[in-house]
Amino acid sequence: MEVPKFMLRRKYQLESVFFIVLFSVIFMVVYQPFSATAWFGLSPAPRLFVTLCFYLVAIAILVLSKQLFAYFHAERTLSVRTYLLWIAAEFVLIALTYTAFTAAFELSGSTLTLPLVGRIILCVSLILAIPYALITLYTAYRAQKEELNLMRLEQEQQQERPTSRLIRFSDNNGIPKMAVEESALYYIESQDNYVRIYYELDEKLVSYMLRCKTQTLEESLLGTSLMRCHRSYIVNTQKINCFKNGHERGKITLSHPAAKPIPVSKSYHKQLTELLASSSIEAE
């Protein structure tokens, strides 16, 4: 079973690191008075300094781990089992880092023994596992909501008489994943080996994440109103409300109020400028 795509999103990775750190701080403050091996604290100053150093190292381990996992997953599809083993390795590495700090600074009143190290690993794993589970459940809920939005859109498009061309999107394996009317699409954002497709549903701007290379997607969109305007963006030119023209660069404002400004890079500036010159789109 492949790792769910929401776990590979940058936003999920950043949120998980932030939530883990926040939860661990609260947990440790509560847990510290009841533990014989807990040395972290906000005072005195030397203890605070060591605590901050440990947290910086732990955050670095988490961030590096997630970047490496995303890299390896991009090279080959990894299973949920591999992901869980990877997370377990994170737990052990951070626990060993805590043990190393304890030994190096002689912060614990107890002599470090193998059973004590085992208890430290178990405690650190518990501190990390709880926020991991909570943030994963919450993000899975949001991902499921995206899927439901997509199902609703497809049902509406089947029931209503189509007013524009239907654009179909497939993943890297050529498997069809979604179909959206051209008039409902706003823009597509590249995120590593994934793309996030932004479209309108019930007057709201929603999105769907698809495992597909941007270049492959761009080629499949030839002949439509969607065109590349940046290394990371493909925009629906029918949805452009205003184009702020700069020196060989620019910025696009789309017609939906929830859509963020889209940058136009030097490589695509001339092509887009020529297209908009023949339209009624306002340029600044």
Q: What domains does the chain contain, in order, with CATH numbers?
A: 5-142 (no CATH), 166-283 (2.40.50.1020)
pLDDT exceeds 60 at position 163: no
> In the predicted model, is pLDDT for residue 185 greater than 90?
yes
Task: Please return the burial class of 211, using the count of CB atoms within 10 Å of its CB with bins 0-12, 13-18 and 19+.
Answer: buried
Say what the pLDDT of residue 113 is: 65
DSSP 260: P
Q: How far is CA 79 from CA 17, 67, 75, 139, 249, in A?
A: 21, 17, 13, 18, 42
Q: Specify which residues 211 forms β-bridges with.
A: 194
Q: How far apart are CA 196 and CA 198, in angstroms?
A: 6
Does pLDDT of 198 surpass 90?
A: yes
Q: Do 276 and 250 form a contact (C-beta atoms < 8 A)? A: no
Q: What is the pLDDT of residue 51?
A: 79
DSSP 199-239: EEETTEEEEEEEE--HHHHHHHTTTSSEEEEETTEEEEGGG
Task: Give CA–CA dist 153/139, Å, rounded.
Answer: 21
pTM: 0.54
Q: What letter does residue 273 receive in the DSSP assignment?
A: H
- Would you call the peptide bond into 115 cis, given omega within 30 degrees of 0 as the criterion? no
Residue 107 or 117, more confident: 117
- CA end-to-end span of the chain, whole Å? 50
Cα(159)–Cα(250) distance, rounded to whole angstroms? 39
Residue range 222-232, pLDDT digits in tens:
888 899 999 99
CA angle, corner 102, sides to 97 and 104, nearest 5?
90
Query: What is residue 199's predicted lDDT score, i.e. its pLDDT?
Result: 92
How many Å separate Cα 134 from the centre of its chain?
16
Percent of the chain whose predicted confidence (pLDDT) is above 70: 78
pLDDT in tens, 109-159: 555 567 767 777 777 777 788 887 887 777 777 777 777 776 776 666 655
Number of H helices, E strands in the chain: 6, 11
pLDDT at 31: 67
Rounded CA gap, 283 and 237, in Å?
13
For position 29, what pLDDT does the model report? 72
Amino acid at 144: Q
Residue range 209-220: average pLDDT? 85
Segments in 105-176 forming alpha helices (H):
114-159
Report pLDDT for 249.
Answer: 81
* Mean pLDDT for the chain overall: 78
Average the pLDDT over 164-176 and give the result: 82
Residue 108: the pLDDT is 52
Q: What is the pLDDT of residue 149?
A: 73
Question: Tens of pLDDT along 43-97?
Answer: 677 777 877 888 888 888 888 888 787 777 666 666 777 878 888 888 888 888 8
